[in-house]
Structure 1
Amino acid sequence: MEASKGPYSLTGGCQCGQVRYELTHPPREIYVCHCRECQKQSSSAFGISVLARSADVRLLTGRLGHWTRSTDSGGSLTCFFCPDCGSRVWHGDREREDEISIKGGSLDEPVDLTDAIHIWTSRKLNGVVIPTGNRQYPKEPA
């Protein structure tokens, strides 16, 4: 994803439109996660995570609900979603963490996965093909 000339702005929101946010600087990295939790959360083969500095994300409209779950690596993850439609918007608490993981499907413009980093490939569904040359990790990167 390249920033356009002038101020950078990438917008997104929930499925019903009550929650809207803006990313004011380019994301740090894009991950495609093949873990079971991302498969369940996305109801698909994987989840897309767009890593961004918390300071670069502004909530424009709406309010977010949240819940915390355990992770396979032994930590915990706070998940933020629209309380009206239930769409997951990002993971990580902007108020307490330096970085959050925006859910790729919540962005208005689809992200380019050409150079995405694939994680938890040990749980990848049969038939999903990771492009040759992409960085990949059987679990989370160290």
Structure 2
Amino acid sequence: MPTYNGHCHCGQTEWTVKLDDPSHILCHCDACKMLSGGECTLNTLTGKDDIKITKGKLGTYDYQGDSGNPVHCYYCPNCTSHVYHHQTVMGDKIVIRTALLDGGKEFKVAAEIFGKDRLGWQPEIAKTFPGPPQ
């Protein structure tokens, strides 16, 4: 499984993550739009044990996801770049922000989720799920 290096915007936090499939899943949910200030976020799924923080410490906060279950968010406490989220409904899987990974610009888009929340002017890029993948 390939390993990728990641870092936040200010450089205070760094990590490595192992990915089975180095691709983007575009998330159009309203929470991601609010967190990023953009039209979607670039993510992929991996196991909780596949990420190692190599520099700095992450801050955390929780919110309630669409499932009604908690979502734990992990971010750089200085610049607030969101490194990953753990949606408890997903068990031992985490959602890694792929735009923060070295080489992430080269990843292909594998799917889109929360297509029901996509902005009207955005074109469909990949197979789209109305909510989380089924």
User: Normalising to structure 2: TM-score of the pair?
Assistant: 0.86
Distance change in 2, residues 1:113/1:127 (3 Å)? farther
Residue identity in the other structure for 2:94: I
Per-residue displacement from partner, 1:59-89 (whole Å, max 9, x unpaired)? 1110000000011222110000011111111
Q: Deviations over 1:23-61 (max 9, x none)?
A: 134347642111111111111000111211122211111
Query: Which of residues 46, 59, 72 in structure 2 aligns to 1:52?
Result: 46
Query: Which one has the bigger helix percentage?
Result: 2
Partner in structure 2 of residue 63 of structure 1: 57
Kept in 2: contact 1:13–1:106 (CA 8 A) = yes
Q: How does 1:1-142 map to 2 (within 5 A)?
A: 8-27=2-21, 30-92=24-86, 98-112=92-106, 114-131=108-125, 134-142=126-134
Partners of 2:127 and 2:60 in 1: how far apart?
Answer: 31
Moved over 4 A (4+): none
Q: From the CA coordinates, give the structure whose radius of gyration is larger.
A: 1
- Report the structure, 1 or 2, having the larger strand content: 2
How many equivalent pairs are there? 131
Return 5+ residue gaps in structure 2 as ranges: none
Whole-Å Cα distance in 1 between the matches of residues 22 and 67 of structure 2?
A: 22
Structure 1, unaligned runs of 5 or more: none
Percent of aligned pairs with the same amino acid: 27
- C-alpha change, 1:107 and 1:89, in structure 2 (3 Å) is same
Do the aligned partners of 1:120 and 1:139 also contact (CA within 8 Å) in 2? yes
